[in-house]
Structure 1
């Protein structure tokens, strides 16, 4: 398996080089040259396997044996040993047709742990094998940063800098990042929103001399390895359902803002998971819903919501979907992305919009509906949703199952991470001990202006100080 860029100007590379490159050097995103197909018979044989075993199966199609089987198995086992559930991702039945897959049993109580615990261990493995320092650089709307920091804090040969929007993440998300005292961690709190943070990251990765000099590596979902790890839970969800429930295919509701979580589902579907309806759930920052429903991809009017991890206008993984939508035509992708850069929007024809709607359906959920869904499911089912997971369940309530079949909604975070929103409807919850203890810890972060130059200067200081130790 070789890896190429959505814009066609990166020579095919192997798995580890893909992992280290992160963002393609021509400004595109890395994708596999081909997507392997897993047949129905093999997929059925995976029933009863653990999440770790299924991850091993999926990754074996992509790694080219660049990581020996025994080493890969140990990386996977180590990555999920600290999850609070023995199932890693337990599937909870809510009602007759709806099950919720809980993705938040990792160390930072968010779905990002599923991919980032593995990626952190993989970076440490590569750093040791190649005897080089790896500088991880990422932007977060809240959960990615905490999870990425957790995955590499204190690890030899790795330094990490995370940008987050100042004052626009939940209190728990901020504390999970900024109470970490390890010297290989730098938190930059940017006076802007997530899209501003992500733009700075993209500009720094596009500065190839800077990227090369400081060995910059990506942990955001611009890194295909993260997308691949996230795709595994669609396989796992399918195998956890009974044969009767999954007959004819399943429906999945996916809360998403950066298009990574749902693109992972799209990848799983292309690999062979029988997904009938891939339902994109978003909040009032509904650029992705408008893209799917109206065929217009255009950032409009940033809004602060109760689900801040989805307060995103420009979705990093949109270009990967566009690549497959355009028939893997890199020249066409490049032309459309240049048009988007120049005009600030992309418009699709009626025929193209119909094709998009064959792949995806979408619902945006208002702040009011989000809170009402949390209240309703706690009152009627005794199940407490966080505001992001509530968007997924609200979308399920409105969409219904396509031609019947089981419906799985992804629960992306523990409700304790977003207590500010949940208290608005009078629900008090008991915090897990690992969250409660955060409030008494000192914080360590630097507030910076929304400027690539200032961030770059902070990074140079961080790397130089670290090198002198």
Structure 2
């Protein structure tokens, strides 16, 4: 399988080359040359597979430069750290299928991809004898999941930027209480969008990137998206074994467009009609829902909400969808992204018919998030975190009668205990990994949202 850049400026590369490259060297994002198609007979044969067996079947269609036995070992090791035998179980509540993605080490959906990516990095570095300095930005959950994916691993240092004071207290503690020598937490004086822009600028400095052997763990790394495709397929199999209608809708709370883009890839892979609709759910930071509903992709001011992992305006994975929306036209994709970088907006109204065939969308207000958590708990006894509540509200608003709806539960509610306790009126019961986390020793450095300062910090603390 060969991988290309959305901007067309690099020669085709292999999967493992793409993993180590992260952001393409022309500033674009990597995608497979083709998306493997799965026929009805093959899909039916997957119904009895375990999650790890299914992951191998899917990932091996995109990865042909790692021996099958080694790939199986990486997958098995990655999901052995999850506390549920189904890895991503579905719970049936309130006429919805809740896909619980928070059974990994940091209780967030990012673990599904980052446990895999951490073990993949370790495997490739052991083979090559090289080192890697990971640089990433987080709006909340990516940071801790990435840190837990590589903490203590030899040949890897990790530098995580988070917006100071704009992640939940639990999210902050999950990152900063990891004291392994290879972990560096940087609280930047700015927003997540500032951090994400800094990371992209650092990676676009090819000389610096190569000198310090930088690697990416944000969803600009294709392996992140690929690992998430698995739980969409897993959900379709589960629902089709319980529901008469084989078509499934998904509601996805998203800010960076990575999770829903994985669903888009799954939809293209599977037999036609298996995934019927992808419902994109945003909070008050509604750039993506405005795009789907009106063709307006334009920056607004980042608003702080109770679902901070979605407090994003510039979605880093949007470029991948734009590539497909422009019929794989790399020159047009590049021009549109350069226009967005220069002006903060792109007018995509001419593509709106196709966009609406691919997605439906809703923006959910803070009051609606609070009311959804409260009502769902009162009526069903099930506790939603604020991000999941965004998806559930959109699902209830846009679902079609008779079509099964899967809602992605992206984080354990205890990570946002104050909001959830206020909405439910019940004290939060903290799972074992979070008990006493507020009293643990932390290590973090505050730094200006400045490319040069952060490059200097990375250079002074990198492995060589």
Normalising by structure 2, we get a TM-score of 0.98
Give the distance between the partners of 2:302 and 2:80, measured in 1 at CA.
39
Structure-to-structure mapping, 1:15-414, within 5 angstroms: 15-64=15-64, 66-96=65-95, 98-243=96-241, 245=243, 247-272=245-270, 274-349=274-349, 351-401=350-400, 404-414=402-412
How far apart are residue 246 of structure 1 and its match? 5.8
Give the distance between the partners of 2:309 and 2:257, measured in 1 at CA.
12
2:287·2:298 contact (CA, 8 Å) conserved in 1?
A: yes
Give the distance between the partners of 1:61 and 1:34, measured in 2 at CA.
11
2:161·2:185 contact (CA, 8 Å) conserved in 1?
A: yes
How far apart are residue 335 of structure 1 and its match? 1.4
Give the distance between the partners of 1:13 and 1:247, measured in 2 at CA.
40
How far apart are residue 39 of structure 1 and its match? 0.8
2:46·2:54 contact (CA, 8 Å) conserved in 1?
A: yes
Give the distance between the partners of 1:239 and 1:62, measured in 2 at CA.
20
Give the distance between the partners of 1:219 and 1:341, measured in 2 at CA.
22
2:240·2:246 contact (CA, 8 Å) conserved in 1?
A: no
Give the match's secondary structure for 2:436: helix
Q: Which moves more between the two structures, 419-428 or 68-77? A: 419-428
2:9·2:26 contact (CA, 8 Å) conserved in 1?
A: yes
Give the distance between the partners of 1:104 and 1:243, measured in 2 at CA.
23
How far apart are residue 242 of structure 1 and its match? 3.6
How far apart are residue 63 of structure 1 and its match? 1.0
How far apart are residue 243 of structure 1 and its match? 3.9
How far apart are residue 67 of structure 1 and its match? 1.2
Please list the CA deviations of residues 337-364 of structure 1 after superposition, one character each: whole Å capped at 9, or x if unmatched.
1221222100123x41121011001011
Give the distance between the partners of 2:240 and 2:34, measured in 1 at CA.
31
Question: Paired residue for 1:454?
Answer: 453
How far apart are residue 245 of structure 1 and its match? 1.8
Give the distance between the partners of 1:222 and 1:10, measured in 2 at CA.
16
2:239·2:248 contact (CA, 8 Å) conserved in 1?
A: no
Please list the CA deviations of residues 279-316 of structure 1 after superposition, one character each: whole Å capped at 9, or x if unmatched.
00110000000000010100112111010000000000
1:3·1:12 contact (CA, 8 Å) conserved in 2?
A: yes
Give the distance between the partners of 1:23 and 1:309, measured in 2 at CA.
21
How far apart are residue 387 of structure 1 and its match? 0.2
Give the match's secondary structure for 2:207: helix
Question: Paired residue for 1:432?
Answer: 431
Give the distance between the partners of 1:132 and 1:398, measured in 2 at CA.
50
Q: Which moves more between the two structures, 435-444 or 239-248? A: 239-248
Question: Paired residue for 1:5?
Answer: 5
1:246·1:406 contact (CA, 8 Å) conserved in 2?
A: no
1:238·1:246 contact (CA, 8 Å) conserved in 2?
A: no
Give the distance between the partners of 2:69 and 2:33, measured in 1 at CA.
26
In the alignment, structure 2 segments of 5+ residues that lack a partner are none
How far apart are residue 244 of structure 1 and its match? 5.9
Please list the CA deviations of residues 390-439 of structure 1 after superposition, one character each: whole Å capped at 9, or x if unmatched.
101000111122x6321100000000001121133233211012101311
Give the direction of change, closer, same or farther, for the CA distance of 1:71–1:423 in structure 2 (3 Å limit): same
For these two proteins, the number of residue pairs brought into alignment is 461
Give the match's secondary structure for 1:424: helix
Please list the CA deviations of residues 98-130 of structure 1 after superposition, one character each: whole Å capped at 9, or x if unmatched.
110100000000000000000000000011000
In the alignment, structure 1 segments of 5+ residues that lack a partner are none
2:6·2:319 contact (CA, 8 Å) conserved in 1?
A: yes
Give the distance between the partners of 1:193 and 1:424, measured in 2 at CA.
26
Question: Paired residue for 2:417?
Answer: 419
1:245·1:405 contact (CA, 8 Å) conserved in 2?
A: no
Give the distance between the partners of 1:320 and 1:241, measured in 2 at CA.
28
Give the match's secondary structure for 1:83: coil
CA-atom RMSD, angstroms? Answer: 1.1
